[in-house]
Amino acid sequence: MDFTPAAKRAFQTQSYGPAPSIEGVEIVELKRFADDGGSMTELARLTTGHPQAFKSFEVRQINYSEVEPGVIKAFHLHQRQTDIWYVPPSDRMLVVLLDVRHGSKTEGTRMRLTLGAGASRMVRIPPGVAHGVRNLSTAPGRIIYFTDVHFSPEPAVCDEGRLPWDYAGAEIWDVTRG
């Protein structure tokens, strides 16, 4: 079959292969228990601060964050801190991860995943992986996250840095259509 010139220029095939992965990023599917009155998701069982799902991670701080509809919060970057993020199933957040660790096996790799959206899972984000989120919902989105470093706003010890929201190109935040 022959397509029109405009269709030929715009035509592309969608990739159905596995999504790219970043060394050290882990995604854990969680069990969501539902009954007539609602649902419950167990986020972590701790043994001396170590969640069973992430054995080498020790919880030092638990945080709760809200993101307004349509807002992009990016990019955060840590030199020492590991984050574990959870978005409730009723919310829908696009998470973008960028491996900016010089010399890592996955240096330069970009990952996009949706948290929430009816699923219960957590993502482990190691130091040196820039991370950000866009709320795809029409209501405020929520993130519960665990860190292995205590936050300090003091410049001498603060481990939270930033890259511009469009560091990987503004289009990385676009909703995939097709």
Print pLDDT tens along the chain (178 aa): 777 788 778 877 777 788 889 999 999 888 877 777 667 777 777 778 788 888 889 998 899 999 999 999 999 999 999 999 999 999 999 999 999 999 999 999 999 999 999 999 999 999 999 999 999 999 999 999 999 998 888 888 888 889 999 999 999 999 987 6
Decide if 127 contacts 160 (C-beta within 8 A): no
Q: Which of 120, 119, 122, 117 is nearest to 62 (CA)?
A: 122
Q: Containing H/E element for 85?
A: strand 83-86
Q: How far is CA 43 from the centre of its chain?
A: 16
Instruction: Report the pLDDT value the prediction gives residue 113, as an integer from 0 to 100.
Output: 95
Phi-psi region of 8 (alpha: psi -120 to 50; beta: other; left: phi over 0): alpha
Q: How far apart are CA 121 and CA 151, in angstroms?
A: 24
- Out of 3.40.1380.20, 2.40.10.10, 3.90.600.10, 2.60.120.10, select the CATH number for domain 28-168: 2.60.120.10
